[in-house]
């Protein structure tokens, strides 16, 4: 009863903190001259160059957004240790309206999160894998219906003939025929990627490749083998040269080494006795780089959303984007879980490294990510030429309410109370999040306490 009372009081306190911000803030929907948006908080903000939009690729919208309000809410979310840190970017009509950090990188050695603080992206990485594949398709060296066994000839499945049916598009849309999250537990138990791909020869099948949906990490990452066989370069090198560099994603990297080499990076935090506890990142899911290997700052992710919104046709042409975002297989489980999914989503599908939602009748292109101590969400609302990405370095669900709040405002939808929802997000990206116990001897007193 005491725990429930504390939680209720904390919820009321959060709402009380957010309410005046919501009522008193003003909308900011115009960029200063010369195409840059600046922010008053020098420690947490950046001045970011804007790409030149392709005038014919995306329809402009005059829908105002209360960006100052969303930034104030983010500030409230990190206040008093509710969460250690986060970063958020909002893009609209080819402009970056906001790209800022909030809170701190590590409660044991606090440094402010800024626009160039690097976060682990977890499953947001899947959008990079599909995009890299699409670039090779555009190059004419690969096809969406290319057979996996043409590039990975040793690949086998338990059903006779099934392996030769598997296509590149099947991998990237989770239509492998394997059971959901196959071998994720083994990956968390320190099994290496290559041995797990060999074990697929004896894994149970639920359908033939291409015929049903089941979310994957290990099998999805076979696309990295395809990229290597096609280009002769390591997968991470191909993404760096064809995506990170041309888009100006200067903080982005792959792997634990890339994260730790960053000038400033956000440490993961989990719940401990009395508050948040900072940990060192686990390497497990970095072993499946296409599925979960990217590290990036919020500055990088603003550029990523601009490109996927159609404003960098020199790197990602419109026909490629249309293919990547088109729904391929229904995912009805996404309609359940957190309250915003339950109340707003009327249809859900998986495309190629992206999810496709009907959000109160409006198309939203989305993906989430989760791994121990990190969470992230990104979404595009094409009809409004709007994009939002939120990254945070804890296992709290609190920041996830910001995304539907912004979408609701953009669409003029009222009645949603998403910022008071502390239930776990029900997306499949959370299903594979590592839930290991704290290391022996770890004490919550090493970190600043947060409310229960």
CATH code of 256's domain: 3.40.710.10
Distances (CA, A) of 53 to 99, 134, 217, 327: 18, 21, 34, 26
Residues 394 and 439 occupy one common structural domain: yes
| Closest to 71 in 3D by CA, of 16, 113, 22 | 22
| CA-only gyration radius of the chain, Å | 21
Residues 176 and 83 occupy one common structural domain: no
Number of domains in the chain: 2
Which residue has 């939009």 as its token pair? 53
CA 171/CA 292 separation, integer angstroms = 15
Residues 121-140 have a mean pLDDT of 98
Question: Cα 190 to chain center, whole Å?
Answer: 24
Give exposure, 416-440, as e/b (b: 16+ Cβ within 10 Å): bebbebeeebbbbbbebbbeeeeee
**Residue-level pLDDT at 355:** 98
Residues 349-353 have a mean pLDDT of 98
**Residue-level pLDDT at 274:** 83
Detail the DSSP E strand segments found in 264-315.
Answer: 269-272, 275-278, 294-297
Residues 363-375 have a mean pLDDT of 97
Residues 170-184 have a mean pLDDT of 98
CA 293/CA 281 separation, integer angstroms = 12
Per-residue pLDDT band for 63 (boundaries 50, 70, 90) equals low
pTM: 0.83
Domain membership of residue 295 as a residue range: 2-118+237-446
Residues 442 and 330 occupy one common structural domain: yes
How many residues are present in the chain?
A: 452
Residues 346 and 295 occupy one common structural domain: yes
> Could you report the per-residue pLDDT of 81-118, keeping only the tens digit for each?
899 999 999 999 999 999 999 999 999 999 999 999 99
Question: Is residue 452 a part of any domain in this protein?
Answer: no
Last residue of a domain, which of 232, 248, 280? 232
Last residue of a domain, which of 172, 207, 232? 232
Residues 312-321 have a mean pLDDT of 98
Residues 139 and 104 occupy one common structural domain: no
Task: Provide the pairing of β-strand 85-92 with 95-103.
Answer: antiparallel
Question: Is residue 123 a part of any domain in this protein?
Answer: no
Percent of the chain having pLDDT more than 90?
76
Residues 189 and 241 occupy one common structural domain: no
| CB 236, CB 223: distance < 8 Å | no
Last residue of a domain, which of 232, 262, 289? 232
Pick the range with the lowest mean pLDDT from 181-185, 375-379, 446-450: 446-450
């Amino acid at each position: 009863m005491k725990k429930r009372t504390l939680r209720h009081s904390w919820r009321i306190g959060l709402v009380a903190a957010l309410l005046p911000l919501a009522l008193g803030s003003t909308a900011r929907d115009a960029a200063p001259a010369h195409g840059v948006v600046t922010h008053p908080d020098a420690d947490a903000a950046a001045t970011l160059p804007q790409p030149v939009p392709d005038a014919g690729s995306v329809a402009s919208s005059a829908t105002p957004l209360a960006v100052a309000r969303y930034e104030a809410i983010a500030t409230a979310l990190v206040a008093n240790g509710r969460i250690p840190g986060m970063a958020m970017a909002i893009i609209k009509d080819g402009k970056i309206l906001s790209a800022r950090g909030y809170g701190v990188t590590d409660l044991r050695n606090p440094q402010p999160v800024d626009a160039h603080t690097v976060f682990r992206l977890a499953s947001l990485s899947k959008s990079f894998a599909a995009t890299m594949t699409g670039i090779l398709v555009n190059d004419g060296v690969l096809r969406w219906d290319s057979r996996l066994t043409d590039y990975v000839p040793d690949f086998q499945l338990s059903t006779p003939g099934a392996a030769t049916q598997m296509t590149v598009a099947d991998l990237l849309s989770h239509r492998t025929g394997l059971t959901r999250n196959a071998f994720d537990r083994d990956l968390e138990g320190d099994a290496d990627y290559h041995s797990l791909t060999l074990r697929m020869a004896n894994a149970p099948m639920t359908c033939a490749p291409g015929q049903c949906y089941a979310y994957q990490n290990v099998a999805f990452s076979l696309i990295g083998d395809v990229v290597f066989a096609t280009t002769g370069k390591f997968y991470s090198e191909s993404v760096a040269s064809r995506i990170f560099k041309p888009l100006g994603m200067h903080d982005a990297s792959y792997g634990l080494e890339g994260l730790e080499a960053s000038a400033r990076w956000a440490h993961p935090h989990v719940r401990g006795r009395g508050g948040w506890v900072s940990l060192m990142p686990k390497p497990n899911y970095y072993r499946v780089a296409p599925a979960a290997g990217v590290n990036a700052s919020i500055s990088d992710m603003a550029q990523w959303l601009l490109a996927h919104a159609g404003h960098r046709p020199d790197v990602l042409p419109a026909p490629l984007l249309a293919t990547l975002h088109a729904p391929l297989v229904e995912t009805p489980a996404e309609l359940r879980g957190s309250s915003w999914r339950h109340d707003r989503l009327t249809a859900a599908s998986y495309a190629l490294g992206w999810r496709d939602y009907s959000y109160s009748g409006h198309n939203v292109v989305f993906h989430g990510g989760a791994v121990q101590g990190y969470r992230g969400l990104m979404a595009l609302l094409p009809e409004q030429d709007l994009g939002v990405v939120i990254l945070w370095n804890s296992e709290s669900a609190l920041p996830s309410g910001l995304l539907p709040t912004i979408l609701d405002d953009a669409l003029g939808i009222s009645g949603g109370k998403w910022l008071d929802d502390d239930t776990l997000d029900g997306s499949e990206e959370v299903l594979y999040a590592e839930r290991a116990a704290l290391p022996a001897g770890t004490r919550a007193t090493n970190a600043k306490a947060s409310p229960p």
